[in-house]
Amino acid sequence: MTDSKYFTTTKKGEIFELKAELNSDKKEKKKEAVKKVIASMTVGKDVSALFPDVVNCMQTDNLELKKLVYLYLMNYAKSQPDMAIMAVNTFVKDCEDPNPLIRALAVRTMGCIRVDKITEYLCEPLRKCLKDEDPYVRKTAAVCVAKLHDINAQLVEDQGFLDTLKDLISDSNPMVVANAVAALSEIAESHPNSNLLDLNPQTINKLLTALNECTEWGQIFILDCLANYTPRDDRESQSICERVTPRLSHANSAVVLSAVKVLMKFMEMLPKDLDYYGTLLKKLAPPLVTLLSAEPELQYVALRNINLIVQKRPEILKHEMKVFFVKYNDPIYVKLEKLDIMIRLASQANIAQVLAELKEYATEVDVDFVRKAVRAIGRCAIKVEQSAERCVSTLLDLIQTKVNYVVQEAIVVIKDIFRKYPNKYESVIATLCENLDSLDEPEARAAMIWIVGEYAERIDNADELLESFLEGFHDESTQVQLQLLTAIVKLFLKKPTETQELVQQVLSLATQDSDNPDLRDRGYIYWRLLSTDPVAAKEVVLAEKPLISEETDLIEPTLLDELICHIGTLASVYHKPPSAFVEGGRGVQHKRLPARAGSGESAESPDVGQAVSAVSDAPPAVIPSQGDLLGDLLNLDLAPPTSNVPPVPSSMQMGAMDLLGGGLDSLMGDESETSASHYRTEVQSPQPPECSERELGGDVGGSPAMGVSLGGAPVGMPAGLGAAPAVGGGLGDLFDLGGGVGVTAGSYIPPKTVWLPAMKAKGLEISGTFARRSGVIHMDLSFTNKAMSVMTDFAIQFNKNSFGLAPAGPLQVLTPLSPNQTVDVSLPLSTTGPVMKMEPLNNLQVAVKNNIDVFYFSCQYPISLLFVEDGKMDRQVFLATWKDIPSENEAQFQIKDCHLNSDAASNKLQGSNIFTVAKRTVDTQDMLYQSVKLTNGIWMLAELRIQTGNPNSTLSVKCRAPEVSQYVYQCYELILRN
Amino acid sequence: MIGGLFIYNHKGEVLISRVYRDDIGRNAVDAFRVNVIHARQQVRSPVTNIARTSFFHVKRSNIWLAAVTKQNVNAAMVFEFLYKMCDVMTAYFGKISEENIKNNFVLIYELLDEILDFGYPQNSETGALKTFITQQGIKSQHHTKEEQSQITSQVTGQIGWRREGIKYRRNELFLDVLESVNLLMSPQGQVLSAHVSGRVVMKSYLSGMPECKFGMNDKIVIDKQGKGGTTDEAGKSELGGSSGKQSIAIDDCTFHQCVRLSKFDSERSISFIPPDGEYELMRYRTTKDIILPFRVIPLVREVGRTKLEVKVVIKSNFKPSLLAQKIEVRIPTPLNTSGVQVICMKGKAKYKASENAIVWKIKRMAGMKESQISAEIELLPTNDKKKWARPPISMNFEVPFAPSGLKVRYLKVFEPKLNYSDHDVIKWVRYIGRSGIYETRC
């Protein structure tokens, strides 16, 4: 009979029988009995009642029997702590045994018995074993310290075991070193701030030496520990890398991956122009590819890691596309991961091959895999523009297969392709429409509805198609309902005459019959937009959409960096930081990549500057393709440029009337013009699903007319809404009426000051100021005759000055100036005169002549005089310029006692041609990004931070000619305070 | 680290359960059974997270091995360990089956106690383990003090894979170069991907602690020597390799832990003290200039909705003097196949309904030959909208050469302490090329 019989005993009274056998005199019988006990324990039976009998078998010279008894002890000691003490004596005795195997066994087992009383007895034997002459005992004792620490951390510290453990790092035996490193690393994890491991160049050197000599597992412990070290400089980093690279040829994949982790991390510190950096990059590819010939489970781990590596350093594997081609017999988890990496590696160079592969995959059996393959084709189209056409035709082929899930998936991705390449592939719409009936998944339905709405003007029966969806409106998922609502509104705006009924139907379905707040809100917004101002509605709903981004599924850079530090571990498999799946505080400190040497980019302005410099280091791929850098970086609550609606000229009114046809025009009346012209909206139209719908609630500058016109809501508008006060309130919330509107304020004109006192000019007093009116600079002068005689023959001349100001015409003082008479003259100035730098910069030396004499005076003009009307910079340009201007050119100022909120300030400044390019709000602080252009073409960029309730604001000015900054600041102060 | 290790049979009954960490409870055993083994769906990942507990599993025939943890462990290490565990078990008692595991459960527990300590893998080289974990029930006193310290120093030492004092009357070694050639070809005959993954397996029966040096026609080494102008005396193809003129570009290689990696990294020389008996010295991969032993030319024609005509030609592409063996061509058929008629020029062909394929077998085929099979497949009419996926045609074969072109140039043995020299060692080299995944799409 063989041992398998022990698994089948199910008799009654078994325990009793076993008890008898355990106490038998015959050694063989005893052993058999213990085996039975262990077998029962394994299958989950409770054999704890046999505790004393089993422990009695412990005193034996049969090693095999001893091990079985120990196994039993480890399992049940915790439930029978008192009886477990019976075993202590044997353990202590065994720790003195001449046979090192027995000493090690005893100390190893003792550490696994989690009973307080036993741990007390463990300390002395452990101390001895840590200094045992035999390396086998020492390596076992090293791990035992970690065990004891897990039971009673304080005890380990008090007993000084940590120091002994640290000493073992210098042990002569490599395996002892490896286990000590493993134990220390684990203990260190639960004391994040302790300097337990104390990695310094000396210990690192010891570890690297042990690395060459210890077992494959020991190499993993050491490499994982090395990865936590941060070298002092790039030279140390390189020398460690050089000693770690041989590990890439190890047969054990875990050794290879841990080595890759160390290299990926330390590479961060190497200068990119270093030859070694390139060598290292080249060395990394082959071992990663080799990992793909490992067993499937390891391939999976490797692929999850490669996915991270490809995102961090795409250059490593860019030529290795083929190895990621899916094999027919790959397990599904390997197939899906390979597909993911294929898309990441797809480029113009290999797209033909990739597409051919993807097409093959789309005919496979596994539904998930096929879907992902179809989706991948769409992603290729978006990623590699040259391939878009081929991708679309491949997708059409797939649609022809009529396989339901393939068709649906294809429609979802075609919608994305439309978003990326508008007005290019619309010819396929007819084919898509044929498959309308087969769509049963919400995502596909929503995508199809979006397409119909977006291209309603080209689809003859768009209204019928949409109407067919409307029938089961309430059974649809929210995604489909929202899309249907938007699509019908679009349709209405495009074909108002035939679809009025449809739009009212959907609006009332959305607002009255639905209990979904998102749907109702969107319904109301459309309703009001349509009833208030169809022109605006058109601008909003049919606005050009920003192009969609190429790489939407990249891991966020900081997380990616953290995951790179966890290569090979579970975190890298899950693509989640350890804190997401590990309980308690163990091992959840965030790891970070070291900084590259010499990348000491000084922070610029505290906020923007950092954001900008961070970007220059970050992988560029994450930035959405629409190039809305600023929007993304500064998290501006602005819409992309395309949806910026310029003030609608009054000629648009015709369009509005057309659009409205008969039904609505009476509602509009005269107001449509005013409301339209005031409508400086920055709303984004509702986007298809992948673009955040939440943006809808943007910063709509409501028009003053809106509240009024709402009174006349269309027929069928719920009564409660028709009531003005309720509406006003609601709108205020929705549209944030407060800001943004405001009548454009004129530029600020300082009061006249006396430039030339009468005393100095033989009775002629000149006071004056400067003003900029409709793009022309004027010098407003008052001449007062305080002398006794008449003054005639006035003329004026300027000295050369910083900005080339010069009179654009002769001074027109027509009448002779009688005593005590004052005449006001406005002298237009040009900026084409001779230029000479003045001190201060805005100084202007003037000579005025009359029949009596020539008088000289100097005056200072506010530099805002020179701010031109076309000084609004494009946002991308702004960001690029801001980055481009060195940080030394930045100046910061405090503006005190300015009680304006950001919108008012922005308005006021705009009057003086200081344009707000973007605005961002962080907590209570508003940041305005502004641009100014001078007459001589110099651009000035400014960041104005206004804290709600704080009269002091901060102004940062960046300019290629930094000497101007100070004057700009003066202007700000002048404008804002007055 | 690994918190526990369980072995289940196909029904999900526990055969072995060893818990190493306090955070793993008995319920983990059941969680894996319920969520993975008894799961209705196909396994979607070898790593499963159930209630913040991660399970790693591998399957050997119908036995499940699962490692479980609650920490952020080194996932690659866990799988490597599970494979190693399988190797160790196989080395001790053969095939991993329910019967064998039940019969050896005491041994398995003993092994698990030794090779995993607190979840940290320890020395798991079978050579070393077998010196002190035996099924003989040896008593602890059996070993002398010297023997004991010899065991412990071997288990913990630098050369954990070999014991001292091995003696053979005849010093002999066998080298097998085993390659598996993989191909994915388009229906038009375009190579979509091709690579060779090779292994050098060594059986050494050498006395003492022999120092070995292994050389092959590695392009990097040959080029280096060519430049140096002096041909290494070792360059003489002493082991019956061909002229050695050709060299091959090795994409990547990995070595048994006995090989000194730093020396390979710096000098690209492969030196080591081998384990006793059989082991895998190295693995390598090549993608350039692969000799594809066979070319498959498929022709599939759909004749109406109920008939398929298939013609497949195979051509052998190697020296006419060499013979390929165990040739098998597998032509997949649709699921709704009702009948098949086959005609083949050579070998035997059969339609195997249970495997949904026509299997064509040829015992031997010389190089530069060609053979052909044609088949008519009758189909049952179906309403199934889903198209037949047309799996690729796959091939199996064995050829007596290395498709990568690898040649062994030398394997030198030095044993300074014992008086036998390199010339006294009898050496054998053999090349076998087998098909890996050798597929042609149709």
CA atoms within 13 A on the CB side of A846: 27
| pLDDT single digits (tens) B58-70 | 999 999 999 999 9
Kind plus residue range of the DSSP H or E element containing A773: strand A764-773
As a whole number, mean pLDDT of residues A13-19 equals 81
Indicate the pLDDT class of residue A688, thresholds 50, 70 and 90.
very low
Q: Is the pLDDT of residue B385 over 60?
A: no
Least confident of A196-200, A625-629, A819-823, A935-939: A625-629
Q: What pLDDT is attached to residue B309?
A: 93
Cα distance between residue A874 and residue A931, in whole Å:
9
Say which residue, A854 or B59, is predicted with more confidence.
B59
Phi, psi of B81, deg, nearest 5: -65, -40
Say which residue, A947 or B74, is predicted with more confidence.
B74
- Reported residue count of chain A is 978
Indicate the pLDDT class of residue A670, thresholds 50, 70 and 90.
very low
- How far does A383 lie from chain B, in Å, by closest CA? 23
Nearest residue in chain A measured CA to CA from B254? A249
A209 at B interface, C-beta within 8 A: no
Say which residue, A514 or A712, is predicted with more confidence.
A514
Q: Is the pLDDT of residue B241 over 70?
A: no
What percentage of chain B reaches a pLDDT higher than 70?
Answer: 92
Q: Is the pLDDT of residue B268 over 50?
A: yes
- How far does A913 lie from chain B, in Å, by closest CA? 58
**Chain A interface, best mutation among B26, B105, B118, B355, by max A CB count within 10 A:** B118
Indicate the pLDDT class of residue A673, thresholds 50, 70 and 90.
very low
Question: Which residues touch A601 (CB under 8 Å, ≥6 apart)?
Answer: A613, A616
B79 and A297 within 8 Å at the Cβ level: the answer is yes
| pLDDT single digits (tens) A758-806 | 888 888 888 888 888 888 888 888 888 888 788 888 888 888 888 888 8
Cα distance between residue A417 and residue A409, in whole Å:
13
Q: Tokens 């190497």 — which residue? A: A270
Structure tokens at B339: 């009948």
Closest CA to B178 of B281, B293, B247: B281
As a whole number, mean pLDDT of residues A693-699 equals 37
Say which residue, A624 or A146, is predicted with more confidence.
A146
Q: Is the pLDDT of residue A372 over 60?
A: yes
Pairing type for strands B426-440 and B172-185 reads: parallel
Cα distance between residue B151 and residue A98, in whole Å:
14
**Chain A interface, best mutation among B79, B280, B383, by max A CB count within 10 A:** B79
Q: What pLDDT is attached to residue B229?
A: 46
Q: What pLDDT is attached to residue A711?
A: 34
Question: Which residues touch B258 (CB under 8 Å, ≥6 apart)?
Answer: B159, B161, B162, B272, B273, B274, B275, B279, B281
Nearest residue in chain B measured CA to CA from A331? B44
Q: What pLDDT is attached to residue B259?
A: 92
| pLDDT single digits (tens) B144-174 | 777 777 778 777 777 778 877 888 999 999 9
Q: What pLDDT is attached to residue A623?
A: 35
- How far does B240 lie from chain A, in Å, by closest CA? 28
As a whole number, mean pLDDT of residues A922-939 equals 82
Query: What is the number of CB-based contacts under 8 A between chain A and chain B?
Result: 298
A249 and B254 within 8 Å at the Cβ level: the answer is yes
Report the amino acid identity of residue B365. M
Q: Considering CB atoms only, which of B14, B72, B140 is closest to A566? A: B72
Cα distance between residue A967 and residue A843, in whole Å:
11
Considering the entire predicted model, what is its pTM? 0.69
Q: Which residues does chain B have within 8 Å of residue A405's beta carbon, measured at their own beta carbons?
A: none
Least confident of A777-781, A888-892, B264-268: A888-892
| Exposed / middle / buried, residue B383 (Cβ in 10 Å: 0-12, 13-18, 19+) | exposed
Q: What pLDDT is attached to residue A637?
A: 37
B69 and A364 within 8 Å at the Cβ level: the answer is no
Q: Is the pLDDT of residue A196 over 70?
A: yes
Q: What pLDDT is attached to residue A679?
A: 37
Task: Supply the DSSP string of A924-938, one letter for each residue.
Answer: TEEEEEEEEEBTTS-
B152 and A357 within 8 Å at the Cβ level: the answer is no
- How far does B423 lie from chain A, in Å, by closest CA? 30
Q: Report ipTM (2 d.p.).
A: 0.81
Nearest residue in chain B measured CA to CA from A217? B121
B72 and A582 within 8 Å at the Cβ level: the answer is yes
Q: Is the pLDDT of residue A300 over 80?
A: yes
**Chain B interface, best mutation among A114, A116, A288, A328, by max B CB count within 10 A:** A328
As a whole number, mean pLDDT of residues B251-265 equals 90
Question: Which residues touch A938 (CB under 8 Å, ≥6 apart)?
Answer: A959, A960, A961, A964
Say which residue, A84 or A131, is predicted with more confidence.
A131
A114-133 residues touching B, CB cutoff 8 A:
114
Cα distance between residue A488 and residue A491, in whole Å:
5
A421-440 residues touching B, CB cutoff 8 A:
none
Pairing type for strands B337-344 and B408-414 reads: unpaired
| pLDDT single digits (tens) A163-173 | 999 999 999 89
